[in-house]
Chains A and B, each alone.
Chain A
């Protein structure tokens, strides 16, 4: 059974800092990995999708990497801003007949002005 872990559960950093959020998964037979952002009381916003054949994806100040064989992904946020404060969720899909996502519990990020 696939398990996704995100540690730490919470992180507080000063504005302007570059930071890395980690995600690990137990079964390397994934089809893709997706990073989401969730603001309090809101749904999920997709940030980046990495296919299993890819090593990284970039969008603006965000860069996500994937090391499938070791079961790890990182989300790099450059020059953090208070508006980046949110919960960041990592999810993996096994593909096949059902592409359901298996989620980690998320990392709650607080960027202090």
Chain B
């Protein structure tokens, strides 16, 4: 079956512009996560969605970052007024349910802020 997909695969934007990154989880997966991987750093958790519960936004680095998810489907991560330090690979993962089940990752979106 189809895995997690993300678009675009690459995005180059100018400092100060807004960007939207999209994630399509595996069908039927209720849990969805966004992570960020900056060069030379480990993956950092950003935000978590579980069904219709309020999302856990504890990993978002600033109020320029926001994310939405429609039901148990597509999620978009929005970064407003991008800064050079936002350059990273943004990875999305989904899981059948939280905790017990493994997370499956998409290929990521490589964001470059010039």
Task: Let me know if B99 is at the binding interface, CB within 8 A.
Answer: yes
Q: In this complex, what residue of B is CB-closest to A6? A: B42
Interface centre among B33, B41, B105 (most CB of A within 10 A): B105
Q: Are B43 and A100 in contact (CB under 8 A)?
A: no
Stretch at the interface among A12-20, A43-51, A64-72: A43-51
> A43 to B106, alpha carbons, bound, how many Å?
6
Which of B42, B59, B91 sits near A43, CB closer than 8 Å? B91
Evaluate whether A43 and B107 lie within 8 angstroms (CB atoms) in the complex, with A31-B99, A99-B98, A99-B99 already known.
Answer: yes
Give residues 27-58 of A contacting B (CB, 8 Å): 31-32, 34, 36, 41-46, 49, 51
Evaluate whether A101 and B45 lie within 8 angstroms (CB atoms) in the complex, with A34-B102, A34-B103, A43-B107 already known.
Answer: yes
Which of B48, B104, B107, B110 sits near A100, CB closer than 8 Å? B48
Task: Let me know if B18 is at the binding interface, CB within 8 A.
Answer: no
Evaluate whether A100 and B33 lie within 8 angstroms (CB atoms) in the complex, with A43-B91, A43-B107, A106-B42 already known.
Answer: yes
Q: Are A103 and B56 in contact (CB under 8 A)?
A: no
Task: Let me know if A102 is at the binding interface, CB within 8 A.
Answer: yes
How large, as a class, is the contact surface on chain B?
A: 20 to 34
> A96 to B97, alpha carbons, bound, how many Å?
12
Write the B48-87 contact mask toward A (1 if CB under 8 angstroms, else 0): 1000000010110000000000000000000000000000
Interface centre among B41, B43, B101, B105 (most CB of A within 10 A): B43
Q: Are A51 and B100 in contact (CB under 8 A)?
A: yes
A residues with a Cβ closer than 8 A to B are 4, 31-32, 34, 36, 41-46, 49, 51, 89, 91, 93, 95-106
A-B contact pairs, 22 of them (CB 8 A): A31-B100, A32-B100, A42-B108, A43-B4, A43-B91, A43-B105, A44-B93, A46-B104, A89-B42, A95-B98, A95-B99, A96-B99, A98-B98, A99-B98, A99-B99, A99-B103, A100-B33, A100-B56, A100-B59, A101-B43, A101-B103, A104-B42
